[in-house]
Structure 1
Amino acid sequence: MKWITRVQLLMLILLMSACASTSKDITNTADIEQFFHDEHFKHVEGIVQPDELFALSDQAKRSLLSAYQQNRMTRGKNLDAHKWLANYIDADNGGFTYYDNMTKVASETFDERMGNCLSLVLLTGAMADVLGVPVTFQDIAVPPVWDKQGSFFLVNGHINLKLKPKKEANMVTFLSNSIQVDFMPERAVRAYGKEVVDRNTVMAMFYNNVAAESLVMGDYDKAYQLLKTGLTIKPDYVPTLNTLAVLYRYKKMSKQAESVYKFALSLKDEDMNTLYNYAILLASQDRLTEWAEVHKVLELARIRNPYYYYDMAQQAYFEMQYEEAVVWYKRAVEKADYRHEFYFGLSRAYWATGDESRARTNLQKALALTSDDGSKQRYQAKLHAMQSH
């Protein structure tokens, strides 16, 4: 089983996820409109609109509020709204079921009681809106998961969210009271890095997903309309730009594709997906000198990026190749000795090999480096368990 949250289309299997970048902000859509080419596509009616993504039907809202009010009237079971919602979703036990299917808006997922990760995140955000529960969306730096559909390779990422206590007058809330909701079925995400993203980014992920699904099915006109909508919301979302360039390439619009690739790389100069696809375009035109320059950037980015080694370590660890995992984690630490998750991973790998002393030492380093309350509590609990072993 695989998860699908944010999809980036490729014409070649990649070896790693995207690197750190240098980027510039785009504050309006003026810069992006020059890359749209409506004259090459037929207009498609019925494209899902941005205000539909997090919307629930009146019936769904009534059902949700009724269930919540029933909780509030139950003696001894009256939970805070964010805790009640986490129980209602019941991600761990399947209140809403993870199912690897097409990406859908919140209302469809509510009715069907199942969806892929992004669909379920949209639904959770929509229900949180109804209850007035603040949310934080998190893009999780999991190792890439590959899927081949037709002539396309897709790389699947992951997203989850935190439900936070409602802000009440004259009341102080703590971050540790937040509840992380995650629908990833394969493995825990605690060891992975995460980046907080805003709602516009989540919406851009949705449009990139459904555009990729349309592109795979050969519906280029619909894919274009979806990509255009997504880029209107978030013009600097590089995965969508990459998908748009791939679409142009498949439409034999090589000049337009190259223009979009260059724009995407001006925003994120070491984005591996965009670099790979740009290299493919250059090779197809026998521009081998330029191809070699792009390939050099790819290789340099790979060996500089500590998360390349971390991803390799995570993969080895979950495949129970613990000694190999130790080697990769150590390389990640050599590149970035300030990342607590690298030391935590190294600690787990050492523990699995039976080297308890090094496991404790690296866990202590992870604890000293982290400023995240959740990670700190987890590391302290594991360290206590190790010392009691």
Structure 2
Amino acid sequence: MAEVTKADIEAARSRLDEIEGYLHIDSRRKEIAELEEKSAQPGFWDDAEAASATMARLTRAKEDVAALEGARSRLGDAEAALELGLEMEDEALLGEAADALAALERDMGELELASWFTDELDHGDAIVTITPGQGGLEAQDWCEMLFHMYQRYCERRGWKVDVNDAPAAEVIGIDRATFTVSGKNAYGMLRAEAGVHRLVRISPTDAKKRRQTTFAGVEVLPVLPDDIEVEIEQSDLRIDVYHASGPGGQGVNTTDSAVRITHLPTGLVVTCQNERSQLQNKAAAMQILKSRLYEMERDRRESELEELRGPKHEISFGNQIRNYVLYPFQLVKDTRTGLECGNVDSVLKDGDLDAFVIAYHRWSCGEGES
């Protein structure tokens, strides 16, 4: 059992005071009161789109305040358990203090992370695309491994995942994966994963059991809220339909339910085949296309592409953001932050990515630079 001291409690209190300051909790409480008053006015729901946006702001503000108040409560629990445990020389109470303080540390980490998300899109949903890079068949298998890793990570965080496209490869793995993640701060969190991921292991397809280096690229886009308009001319689109080839609805391999949309001016191609109908696949593909066009336009006007997903690199050696080594030793290492983890299974199989995501955001804010 880790020992907890009064100095630890005071350090946690000081850190929590700082967090409350830069989260502007007093302003958030005032915002809640104003939004609640606005939502109670007659005719509030006459404009459903504006009303939904207001309610989303209200929910987010309430979540921030509730998280801070929950952290304050944990701090009080830890302090009370420590004082009583020291007074009674009760190891069980001292253990409770240690547990409460550990939980508080996790809470404060989440609060600090949320404070780094200054773009409104950071708080919303994300579209993630995984593409095989160098490595041939192995890259398709690596693509599928990353796909399962992110699904597990989303599950751990309580986010909803809708798979838009994940066709199986002919021999091993998948050709690509595109999926939409819905949940609090999903885009802000997941944009830490954008870039090239490198795997080193003994090849499962090589009879001689030689070591293989494989690459996959991860793209992360924000799901655009309804109040952001992206104009797309129908004449600029080529829409093809075909038989879906993977798990999906009742129409898989029986009707032309899968959709491929090509944006002719830019050459962007988006596919979706996992919904039950052609109309649903088309709607999902259009959402992804709009997000990609929005990012391109934002880059052109404001030079913000590096903030969204980092500079564009070939999916090959020398460009990776993270290495996953399974042989001759086991290690996951982020090349940007230097963070390492020797428990590879916890990352790849269990989706335990929070440490890497938090380290990235701390590093990108300058807090991790020495």
Interval containing the TM-score (normalised by the shorter chain): under 0.3
TM-score (norm 2): 0.26
- As a proportion of its length, which structure holds more helix? 1
- Higher-Rg member (1/2): 2
TM-score (norm 1): 0.25
